[in-house]
Chain A
Amino acid sequence: ILNVEQSPQSLHVQEGDSTNFTCSFPSSNFYALHWYRWETAKSPEALFVMTLNGDEKKKGRISATLNTKEGYSYLYIKGSQPEDSATYLCALLNYGGSQGNLIFGKGTKLSVKP
């Protein structure tokens, strides 16, 4: 059974702080790594899909990096704002052959205090 680990479980920061969290996954049979942002009572929303080792993606103040050889991805938020408060989920895609599923980590819950 594949295990996708996220740390920390939760994080409390002040408005304006920059922060980052980690997603670890088995590096064998890697296909893609997804990041989702999930606000309470809403649906998860895709941030990034990353496939190549060394990939770096950016969307506004949020960016992510990927290391497929060692099996980790970092998500960075620069200058956190209260509206960034959400759970950030990463998910490993197994795809191909008879596999077609996305294995989610348990998420990092970010709270940004004004």
Chain B
Amino acid sequence: GEEVAQTPKHLVRGEGQKAKLYCAPIKGHSYVFWYQQVLKNEFKFLISFQNENVFDETGMPKERFSAKCLPNSPCSLEIQATKLEDSAVYFCASSPRGAEKLFFGSGTQLSVL
């Protein structure tokens, strides 16, 4: 598609439940990035992919968070056993080549109650 598609738009989970977020990058884009926006304006880098390979995962919490980008499927970000502090907007972005401008999706608002 011509835009980065993130689903769902909103996700509500009880503490301890699993959350799974999806991102379909723009067709032809090789790089996918996930960001967590907790506080206003603060974008925290989580992980990036080059095609289906993890490119940089220095921002991923070691426990509970995992992500995949498999061929012919949307990319996913999964949080096991969600905590209250996981409440945030999760943005996905893609780019045709790693050093070029990012195209952002509209984000998934995760609320953990």
Chain A residues packing against B (C-beta within 8 Å): 31-32, 34, 36, 38, 42-46, 49, 51, 87, 89, 91, 93-95, 98-104, 106-107, 109
Contact = CB atoms under 8 A, between A and B. Distances in A.
Contacts of B103: 46
Given A34-B101, A51-B99, A102-B33, 6 more contacts: A43-B4, A43-B91, A44-B91, A46-B103, A100-B50, A104-B42
B48 A101 contact: yes
A44 B94 CA distance: 12
Interface stretch (B55-63, B66-74, B76-84): B55-63
Interface string B9-35: 000000000000000000000010101
Contact of B55 (A89, A100, A104): A100
Contact of B99 (A32, A38, A46, A104): A32
Contact of A95 (B43, B99, B105, B106): B99
Which of B42, B45, B101 has its CB near the most chain A CB atoms (within 10 A)? B101
Contact of A43 (B41, B59, B107): B107
B90 interface: no
A101 B41 CA distance: 17
